[in-house]
Amino acid sequence: DTGVSQDPRHKITKRGQNVTFRCDPISEHNRLYWYRQTLGQGPEFLTYFQNEAQLEKSRLLSDRFSAERPKGSFSTLEIQRTEQGDSAMYLCASVAVSYNEQFFGPGTRLTVL
């Protein structure tokens, strides 16, 4: 399968714990996006990378959130001191700039108890 992959698919954690999610984009896609989707809503933009550079961050991305893409390939999204309001589906998408279309991974469903 050469699509976008995300790991883990599901994560249950207790409030106050730190969690980290991984996204592996489609090979050679130089842009990578993170979105958050709460139940019954459309996805909301969090941040995006072009290669290893983080170019834009949403105001939704509080200082408890950090994202990295160290070698311009896979990316990680870390949430520190999780809160119940962080419970959501975290989606990753990648795009080859020349094609301008985003392809989404299956998402990581986070539940904070």
Partner 1 sequence: TQLLEQSPQFLSIQEGENLTVYCNSSSVFSSLQWYRQEPGEGPVLLVTVVTGGEVKKLKRLTFQFGDARKDSSLHITAAQPGDTGLYLCAGKINAGNMLTFGGGTRLMVKP
Contact residues toward partner 1 (CB under 8 A) are 4, 6, 31, 33, 35, 40-45, 48, 55-56, 91, 93, 95, 97, 100-107, 109
Give the separation between CA 19 and CA 91, rounded to whole angstroms.
15
Neighbours of 110 (CB within 10 A): 20
Beta carbon of residue 91, minimum distance to partner 1 (angstroms, whole number)? 5
Shortest Cβ 60–partner 1 spacing (Å): 12
Q: How far apart are CA 111 and CA 85, in angstroms?
A: 9
Closest distance of CB 43 from partner 1, Å = 5
| Nearest to partner 1 of 31, 79 (CB atom) | 31
Work out the number of other CB atoms within 10 angstroms of the CB of residue 29.
Answer: 17
Contact 110, 88 (CB under 8 A): yes
| Cβ nearer to partner 1, comparing 79 with 92 | 92
Residue among 54 and 80 whose Cβ is closer to partner 1: 54
How far from 8 is each of 17, 26, 90, CA to CA, in Å? 16, 17, 10
Nearer to partner 1, 74 or 103 (CB): 103
